[in-house]
Structure 1
Amino acid sequence: MRFPDLTGVFDVGTLLETNVRLGVTGLRRAGKTVFVTALVDNLLKAGRLPFLDVVSSGRFQASRLRPQPDPDVPRFDVEGHLAALAGPEPRWPDTTKGIGQLRVSIRYQPGSALLRTVQPVATLNLDIVDYPGEWLLDLPLLRLSFAEWSGLTLDLAQQAPRDGLSALWRHWLADIDPTAPAEETAARQGAALYTDYLHACRRADTLLSLIQPGRFVEPGDMKDAPLLTFCPLSGGLGGRGSLWELMENRYEAYKTNVVRRFFTDHFARLDRQIVLIDVLGALNAGPYGMADMKRALELSLEPFRHGASGWFDWLFGSKIDRVLFAATKADHIAAHQHAHLRGLLDQLVGNARSAIRFDGAAVETMAIAAVKCTESVTTEHEGRQLRCVRGTPVGRDRPTVLFPGEIPDNADAFPPGREHPYNFLPFRPPADLGRDPRGLPHIRLDQALQFLLGDYLE
């Protein structure tokens, strides 16, 4: 049982009102916006949550949207995203371009008879923050100097498949003297070429995940700001007035004014965390995409404060005491493959999971689908029984039965000589999503909620 929030007035009226801040984190294409939308829709309707104990035990009363706690943060447009998913022509919501926040208040009866005598109804205020996945990759910059970041970034840019994507920027680097007097024209040219390289990584078929700084490709309200006019440099350190000093100063200002502020205002206040991971996308991308995603995940999770919570969290800041790693889009494969997908996820996050458990936090892994777009079916092909999925692939206009392929049992199991051996197709939202009053269909969203919030709802 979590301790109630004691930062407000301590009286009977607020004793059983608890606040929890859930961090929905993950790299791009993992489906954070769809996850938040489906989570909110299902909490408001509560018709598809049989494995959430507060619902199955009959103690759930109702949920409603409430004013968010941070008035300076834009509101997450859950209504607009639901309209896109459940409208007459269903489509996936637009990708997140900036930060958004939402509060859902859950009213329920406490499980303890003693607590029910004090107050028969309790409230859990769930605060959720959505943001572009690229911003998560800025967090590792907090521990790197400009020289360290430049060296690591250049080393990575020289390796396949990034070497071809970064050729123009590296050619510019070869002709630039970082110790020469600073010129704004040179700084802007270098930043533009480096930004073009990052966009090329973002578009690459190999699903490159490690893209820094994140605001270069998703600037939000900082578009065209001088603070984004820098790039890594090679060569020796420059003195006062040099191009190196100019770039270094802007890098440090970016860390202070953007990264550290974003971390302090949002991530440092998290109580629980779910990390969404597009494992199927990494398989499609091949070994480079898989390795790059693993590296990006491990780096992005290092700055978070994980560990068991205690009495003094209100004084020193909260810790994240439960972390769920979730492989998304589980509906894109047949149901019998979900265990294999989870096993692959276990390998992908093995190092990060061990580090978080060592810090004292509880960790779980799952294969989920925030919005279920397919049905598992069995068909016969050349005398064999194949377990397939039936849904409408993106780019088609009618349901199709497809054999999506088998999930490998090892993250390194890529057939030799085949750069992209897997092709797990994306699917469109079903045409009837808006007709069911029980909430958006899903796979294990209720089990994810039970792990993340179940103890708060006891």
Structure 2
Amino acid sequence: MVFRTLTDGVTRGIEGALGAVSETLFEPVVRLGVTGLSRAGKTVFITGLVANLLDRGRMPQLRAQAEGRIEAVFLQPQPDDTLPRFDFEAHLAALTGDDPRWPASTRSISELRLSFRVRPSGMLSGLTGPRTVHLDIIDYPGEWLLDLSLMTKTYAQWSDDTLTRLANRPQARSFMAMARAEDGSLKLEEARAQALAASFTDYLNAARKAGWSDCTPGRFMLPGDLAGSPVLTFAPLPAPSQAPRGSLYREMDRRFEAYKSHVVQPFFREHFSRIDRQVVLVDALGAIHAGPQALEDLRRTMAEILQAFRPGRNTFLSQLLLGHRVERILFAATMADHLHHTQHPKLTVIMQSMLREARDRAAFAGALTAAMSLSSLRATVEETVTRHGETVEAVRGRLMESGRQAAMYPGELPDDPARLLSPAREGAERWLDAEFALMRFGPARIALKPGEGPPHIRLDRAAEFLIGDRL
């Protein structure tokens, strides 16, 4: 019996290894990471992308589809049995039902496998039959990606950086008052540590809701089973002149290091290290609407995110990836349907300008990068309206709060992105010569024809950049 058990185990191991080799050689897998910052529409992006890959009538810019080489696309069981499945069917039903609504945000990691049966192109087209390519979509919160920046910082550095950023933010007033009044050299009292962590968590949630991007540590807002544990019971504090053993500051330092070891590192080891392609979704319009400081915060946060794809300067990440690199990175400004199409190029240029320095560094590290504006599910129609006696190009949609139809002219984005980025870098509190409005529209009622996915803006171009070369 023991011998049979051992034999069965060896046999299963060999079969698993052969299956992995077979899949790598004959059924290649592309692992696409999808993440976004607050309110960027990550769930809608994945749902819209999958729906339009299954029914490709609205995907003319996906070259394999335009060439007629895609024979079939279908959902399959995901390879990672321990990860939750991305609930595509429920999210699609929410978006396309009789009473359409935005689906609930995903607050943890999930996965979905989409398989393509594709005929080869070029000289091989007449020599070989169709092949299967698997697309594994890994959905995870953007705050988890931002946590990677913590790996290269000490607690003292992180505290100093965080307290400096929070100094002028209204959402942080209560926490900052508590932190400044604390003496970190005194003996640890668990009740005080818990109160500080709770106040800091309240700030993070309020900042995320207000549109700030740099909300780390990410697990404070998505604690799951770790809620109440010491690994989530720390906060930034001013450095005391001395911090003896057993002091509050020393214990906060220890818990910060535990967070890196037990929360951040396992995520990157088990999931991030295997990603081949990455899309980062950004609510750039929301940041512009919130003002110069929010836009600068977004620019800085996007630069920090790009550091995650530069293992050469990160010893931890270099050891983790063992030579594996993300091959393509797409930065996408969502909700392009909240602008008239004549302004879409301006939004894309703003994205490119915000990320140019960091994007160049990522390209130097070997990743092909791109920036674009898109809408995962088009919720508006375009129309011309009169505003203050002038004719302007606007959009019309169904307001989320009331459900009534409304037209919106968000303002004219500048041709030169420096008109936004320069005052943002200089710390301006508001735009001096322009106003930018933003309404939140709900999904429109749609009637889909056979073979058509939901209406979108440039999802086909995004798909071509991310996976087109593998089809």
Post-superposition offset of 1:412: 4.3
Q: How does 1:211-360 map to 2 (within 5 A)?
A: 211-236=215-240, 237-305=242-310, 316-360=322-366
For 2:382, the equivalent position in structure 1 comes to 376
Of 23-32 and 390-399, more deviation after overlay is shown by 390-399
Post-superposition offset of 1:152: 0.9
Alignment partners' CA distance in 2, 1:78 and 1:327: 22
For 2:138, the equivalent position in structure 1 comes to 129
Give the alignment's TM-score, normalised by structure 2: 0.87
Post-superposition offset of 1:25: 2.3
Post-superposition offset of 1:221: 3.3
Which of 411, 414, 429 is equivalent to 2:443? Answer: 429
Alignment partners' CA distance in 2, 1:13 and 1:271: 16
Post-superposition offset of 1:181: 1.9
Which of 210, 213, 216 is equivalent to 2:214? Answer: 210
- SS of 2:399 mapped into structure 1: coil
Which of 110, 116, 125 is equivalent to 1:100? Answer: 110
**Contact between 1:76 and 1:101, CA under 8 Å: does it hold in 2?**
yes
**Contact between 1:306 and 1:356, CA under 8 Å: does it hold in 2?**
no
For 2:153, the equivalent position in structure 1 comes to 144
The yes-or-no answer on 1:72 pairing with 2:86 is no
**Contact between 2:306 and 2:359, CA under 8 Å: does it hold in 1?**
no
Change in CA separation of 1:51 and 1:238 when aligned onto 2, cut-off 3 Å: same
The yes-or-no answer on 1:455 pairing with 2:469 is yes
For 1:312, the equivalent position in structure 2 comes to none
Alignment partners' CA distance in 1, 2:408 and 2:450: 25
The yes-or-no answer on 1:166 pairing with 2:180 is no
Of 11-20 and 238-247, more deviation after overlay is shown by 11-20
Which of 33, 36, 51 is equivalent to 2:61? Answer: 51
**Contact between 1:134 and 1:218, CA under 8 Å: does it hold in 2?**
no
Post-superposition offset of 1:284: 0.7
Change in CA separation of 1:417 and 1:11 when aligned onto 2, cut-off 3 Å: closer
Report the residue type matching 1:252 in the other structure: E
Alignment partners' CA distance in 2, 1:143 and 1:358: 20
**Contact between 1:85 and 1:433, CA under 8 Å: does it hold in 2?**
no
Give the alignment's TM-score, normalised by structure 1: 0.89
Alignment partners' CA distance in 2, 1:182 and 1:249: 12
- SS of 1:360 mapped into structure 2: coil
Higher helix share: 2
The yes-or-no answer on 1:87 pairing with 2:93 is no
Post-superposition offset of 1:264: 1.6
Alignment partners' CA distance in 1, 2:347 and 2:457: 13
Alignment partners' CA distance in 2, 1:61 and 1:357: 34
Report the residue type matching 1:391 in the other structure: G
**Contact between 2:119 and 2:125, CA under 8 Å: does it hold in 1?**
no
Alignment partners' CA distance in 2, 1:144 and 1:55: 46
Alignment partners' CA distance in 1, 2:349 and 2:23: 46
**Contact between 1:153 and 1:232, CA under 8 Å: does it hold in 2?**
yes
**Contact between 1:284 and 1:424, CA under 8 Å: does it hold in 2?**
yes
For 2:196, the equivalent position in structure 1 comes to 190
The yes-or-no answer on 1:391 pairing with 2:405 is no
Report the residue type matching 2:281 in the other structure: L
Q: How many percent identity over aligned positions? A: 43
Which stretches in structure 1 are left out of the alignment for 5+ residues? 1-6, 308-314
- SS of 2:326 mapped into structure 1: coil
Change in CA separation of 1:412 and 1:225 when aligned onto 2, cut-off 3 Å: farther
Alignment partners' CA distance in 2, 1:11 and 1:416: 56
**Contact between 2:30 and 2:134, CA under 8 Å: does it hold in 1?**
yes
Change in CA separation of 1:416 and 1:214 when aligned onto 2, cut-off 3 Å: closer
Post-superposition offset of 1:213: 0.8
Q: How does 1:398-437 map to 2 (within 5 A)?
A: 398-408=404-414, 409-410=416-417, 412-413=419-420, 421-432=435-446, 437=451
Alignment partners' CA distance in 2, 1:12 and 1:216: 41
CA RMSD of aligned residues (A): 2.5
Which of 421, 427, 444 is equivalent to 2:458? Answer: 444
Report the residue type matching 2:153 in the other structure: L
The yes-or-no answer on 1:109 pairing with 2:113 is no
Post-superposition offset of 1:40: 0.8
Post-superposition offset of 1:9: 5.5
Alignment partners' CA distance in 2, 1:136 and 1:90: 31
Post-superposition offset of 1:11: 8.4
